Structure 1
Amino acid sequence: MGYGILLPDYRIAVHPTGAFEAYDERMNALEEARPSSRVASEVLQALSRFYR
């Protein structure tokens, strides 16, 4: 199961394999966008509430 991360400047689609793709607000692919380590940590912490 994948999930999405909505950030102010772009969106990230995370696939079950851990690969991800970033898009702007018009769903154009962004090659260089990467979530910060703080955002990644917050997402993993939030997801851990559902996966134990």
Structure 2
Amino acid sequence: MKYLIILFLVALFIYMFSFARYNWAKKNRLAAIGSLIIGLAAVLLPLYIIFYGNYEL
């Protein structure tokens, strides 16, 4: 089950990273940096909870 969640999170990060690259190419730097930060937070926080949280999945 953890591997399916990780796969979903990786797909989410790839989508957010491509959106950030698109904004960077269109000279919308603030949106690119913001979407990259949101993408990292959306991936890293669940990964931290999955591997270091005290719960059963």
Q: How high is the TM-score relative to the length of structure 1?
A: 0.32
Higher share of residues assigned helix: 2
Specify which structure has the bigger relative contact order, considering alpha-carbon pairs within 8 angstroms and separated by 6 or more residues. Answer: 2
Higher share of residues assigned strand: 1
Q: How high is the TM-score relative to the length of structure 2?
A: 0.30
Q: Who wins on radius of gyration, i.e. which is larger?
A: 2
